[in-house]
Amino acid sequence: MSDTQNPARVAIVTGGSGGIGRAVAARLAADGLAVVVHYSGNEAKAQDAVKEITAAGGRATAFGGDVAEHEEMAALFQHATDTFGGVDVVAHTAGIMPLAPIAQMDLETFDRIQRTNVRGTFVISQLAAQQVRAGGAIINFSTSITRLQMPTYGAYAASKGAVEAMTLILARELRGRDITVNAVAPGPTATPLFFEGKSEQVINHIASLNPMERLGTPEDIAEVAAFLAGPARWINGQVLYTNGGAA
């Protein structure tokens, strides 16, 4: 059902079916934005996120696709426009994080990380730059690992270094458009992606590294995204390290 006559702001959240993305989608919806919950492979989780948002009185829809494929993401943006009337905020949380020491990671895995995290960010940023309306915000996601420099994260950190570079340059390319472009760089956050493959001992050690002595929560990160999406109009071309003081 089209809702193009409603003047409410509209957000696309990539990777919105779980983890940080789902928290961001819920938080933006709570602020009154209509939300398109993007998913890559798990439609059921995305539909669950939509149900949670609508049950709380918000507006949301789900749409799937590969972030690294331009045509599929162009369809995502068109769905947002057809359903809600346009795009004001893009929160690009989608990404993958296979881990291995540089000396041991196979090139196929390395290429898959770069395709999703670098090419995917480029595709989303390009479409956002073309379509986000004045007064809007583009929010990419990096990682505090670019500062923490933890072993086994080399390929992932390399991809997120590229994300930061693209973000800072895009902010300057959009001069005069009244669109902010920033990156959120979470520290270790309690999501399934973070817990995968880690022992309890390792998890506890990582949680102890910041002065708050805990892992971040998806809601911690979502608060920062909501700030950038709404009132933070004088923050532009920045990377916000959101990690409890770990780096």
- Distance between terminal CA atoms of the chain? 46
The amino acid that residue 167 corresponds to is: T
Helix (H) or strand (E) run with residue 64 in it: strand 60-64
User: What is the number of residues in the chain?
Assistant: 247
Backbone φ and ψ for 144, nearest 5 degrees, come out as: -70, -10
* Residue that the structure tokens 């895009």 belong to: 170
| Integer angstrom CA distances of residue 218 from 52, 96, 102, 138, 151 | 16, 16, 28, 19, 23
| Integer angstrom CA distances of residue 225 from 30, 98, 122, 213, 218 | 13, 24, 19, 22, 11
Residue of 39, 153, 156, 241 with catalytic role? 156
Q: Is 153 a catalytic residue?
A: no
Cα separation, 72 vs 49, in Å, equals 21
Helix (H) or strand (E) run with residue 39 in it: strand 34-39
Q: 244, 223, 197, 200: which is closest to 91 by C-alpha?
A: 223
Name the residues annotated as catalytic: 156
